Structure 1
Amino acid sequence: MTLYTPLGGLPFPQPTDTADLPLHLRSLAEGIDSRTVLRYPTAADRDAAITTPAAGMVAWLTTPGTLSYYTGSAWVAMGAWNAYTPAWTAETTNPAIGNGTLTGKYALVGKVCHFSALVTFGSTTAYGSGAYSLGLPVRAGALGGLPPFPGVAMSGGGRGVISCQPTAATNATTFTLWGPGSASSSKIEQLGSGGLFGSAWVSGSLIRVSGTYEVA
């Protein structure tokens, strides 16, 4: 009966197994193959070769020249900027970007995620109702939900510095926006459909946030 090494789970035969050296060598080679840094010309070649990837697999792509690893649900380029579309929601009625833009980028380095998100309001953007939340590119870990993220926002009332807070200390997937809700008070409020400095959002308004956190 074939046994497996305690650390890597690699197969090795027992004296009672049928003497079949090519078969045993193939089983060992296949076990090692999935644990090495795999090499492919492009992401399409990688996906065609690895139809059922396992979490932790690592592959080098000649184009664009990056290492990627499989998180368990998707391949992510390590240390390179990846595009993502932040989820944009509100407490009562969700907004809709319309002809505005909703973009983001993120880079993973080990368990650390650097990200930047930008909302640019257009003439057909629907502002929704209630306080806003924006989505993180990767779920935060136990400490990832603690640090705030700095940002800037601009409405019809002008431009102001904002601070954004993950919605949970652990496993956060979104963050809320906090800033000057009134032009006459220094108190910060949770920002949403009401705009900034007490002035409504208009076409050309923006919300820009960037930050760093620990991923799950």
Structure 2
Amino acid sequence: MTLYTPLNNLPYPQPTDTANLPLHLQSLAEGVDARTVLRYANAAARDSAVTTPAAGMVAWLTTPGTLSYYTGSAWIALGAWNTYTPTWTATTTNPAIGDGTLTGRYAVVGKVCHFTTLVQFGASTAYGSGNYSFGLPVTSGALGGLPQFQGIAAVSGGRALVSCQPNSATGATSFTMWGPASASSPAATQLGSGGVLGTAYASGNVIRIGGTYEVA
């Protein structure tokens, strides 16, 4: 009966097993193969070869020259900036970006994620109603003290500094936005479809947010 090593679960035969050296070597080689740093020309070649990746797999891509690892749901380039499209929701009626732009970039180094989000409103953007939430690129780990993400919201009435907070202390997938809803008061309130500084959002306005947090 085949046994397995305690650390990496690699198969090895027992003296009582039927002698089949090629099969035993193949089983061992396949076990080792999935646990080494895989090498491919690009992401397409990797995805073609590894059709059922396992969490923790690591692959080197010659183009663009980065290491990537599989989280269990997606391949992420280590230390390189990746693109993502943040979700954008509101507590009452969800907004829609329309002909505006909603983009994000992020880089994961170890257990740390650095990200930036840019919202550029367009002529057909629908602002919804209620307080806004924007999606994080990677699910967070335990966020003791809930780190603050900083940014700026620019409307026709001026520019406001905003502070953002993850939506939960563990496993956060989005964050809320806080800042001055009124030009006459510096108090920070949760922001949303009402805009900032007493001015509603309009085409050409922008929101920029960036931050760092621990990933799951």
**What TM bracket, shorter-length normalisation?**
over 0.9
2:111 alignment partner in structure 1: 111
1:188 alignment partner in structure 2: 188
CA contact (8 A) 1:145 1:166 kept: no
1:125 alignment partner in structure 2: 125
CA contact (8 A) 1:107 1:114 kept: yes
What letter corresponds to residue 4 of structure 1 in structure 2?
Y
1:200 alignment partner in structure 2: 200
**SS in structure 1 of the partner of residue 146 of structure 2:** coil
Deviations 1:35-65 (A, max 9, x none): 0000010111111111111000000010111
What letter corresponds to residue 124 of structure 2 in structure 1?
T
Distance 2:85 2:194 in 1: 23
What letter corresponds to residue 37 of structure 1 in structure 2?
V
- List aligned pairs for 1:140-179, cutoff 5 A: 140-143=140-143, 146-179=146-179
Identity of aligned residues (%): 74
Does residue 84 of structure 1 match 2:84? yes
Task: State the 1:145 CA deviation.
Answer: 7.4
**SS in structure 2 of the partner of residue 48 of structure 1:** helix
CA contact (8 A) 1:145 1:167 kept: no
Q: TM-score, with normalisation over the residues of structure 2?
A: 0.98
2:66 alignment partner in structure 1: 66
CA contact (8 A) 1:145 1:170 kept: no
What letter corresponds to residue 38 of structure 1 in structure 2?
L
Distance 1:53 1:106 in 2: 22
Give the number of aligned pairs.
216
CA contact (8 A) 1:145 1:213 kept: no
What letter corresponds to residue 34 of structure 2 in structure 1?
S
**SS in structure 2 of the partner of residue 45 of structure 1:** helix
Runs of 5+ consecutive residues of structure 1 not aligned to the other structure: none
1:23 alignment partner in structure 2: 23
What letter corresponds to residue 46 of structure 2 in structure 1?
R
Give the aligned CA root-mean-square deviation in angstroms.
Answer: 1.0
Task: State the 1:146 CA deviation.
Answer: 1.1
Distance 2:96 2:26 in 1: 54
**SS in structure 1 of the partner of residue 45 of structure 2:** helix
User: After the TM superposition, which segments of 4 or more aligned residues of structure 1 sit over 2 Å from their partners?
Assistant: none
Distance 1:205 1:215 in 2: 31
Q: TM-score, with normalisation over the residues of structure 1?
A: 0.98
Distance 1:44 1:203 in 2: 38
Distance 1:145 1:74 in 2: 28
Task: State the 1:84 CA deviation.
Answer: 0.3
Distance 1:167 1:99 in 2: 27
Task: State the 1:144 CA deviation.
Answer: 6.8
Deviations 1:46-97 (A, max 9, x none): 1111111100000001011110111101111111011000000011111111
What letter corresponds to residue 87 of structure 1 in structure 2?
T
Distance 1:173 1:145 in 2: 16
2:5 alignment partner in structure 1: 5
What letter corresponds to residue 191 of structure 2 in structure 1?
L
Runs of 5+ consecutive residues of structure 2 not aligned to the other structure: none
Does residue 54 of structure 1 match 2:54? yes
CA contact (8 A) 1:88 1:133 kept: yes
